[in-house]
């Protein structure tokens, strides 16, 4: 009778996969504010900066997750990173379209199309 696989047998793969998932919010929190700040902060046309920051964050985080997926031979880190990117994209887009009421952008005309 063969023994069932133990967590310790796969610990390296699991640890690297978790690194891929932890990196996604780190990348978003690094690139979104940086691009927005460098391009002028909070202003009526900031959806372009969010789109640019999002593209960079998507590319960087999927590259890391893809590399880790390739190294460990598993798809779940890449799939998990893609799902987390979709959630991050949705949240950033929501906050661009719905600024806080104290923000001067809240009184500006609505953003068409959105992010």
Query: What does the pLDDT profile of the chain (115 residues) look like in tens digits?
Result: 676 566 666 888 888 889 889 999 888 888 888 887 777 766 666 778 888 888 999 999 999 999 999 999 999 999 999 999 999 999 888 887 787 788 776 776 665 555 5
Structure tokens at 15: 């640890």
User: Does the pTM of the predicted model rise above 0.85?
Assistant: no
Query: H-type helices in the chain, by residue range?
Result: 11-39, 47-72, 76-97
| Four-CA torsion 34, 19, 70, 91, nearest 10 degrees | -50
DSSP 3-state assignment of 5?
A: coil
Q: Is the separation of the CB atoms in 95 and 114 below 8 Å?
A: no
């Amino acid at each position: 009778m063969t023994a069932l696989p133990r967590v310790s047998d796969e610990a390296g793969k699991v640890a690297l996969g978790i690194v891929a998932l932890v990196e996604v919010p780190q990348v978003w929190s690094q690139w979104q504010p940086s691009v927005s700040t460098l391009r002028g902060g909070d202003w009526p046309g900031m959806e372009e900066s969010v789109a640019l920051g999002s593209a960079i964050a998507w590319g960087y985080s999927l590259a890391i997750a893809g590399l880790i997926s390739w190294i460990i031979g598993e798809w779940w880190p890449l799939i998990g990173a893609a799902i987390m990117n979709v959630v991050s994209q949705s949240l950033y887009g929501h906050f661009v379209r719905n600024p806080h009421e104290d923000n001067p952008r809240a009184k500006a005309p609505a953003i068409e199309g959105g992010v």
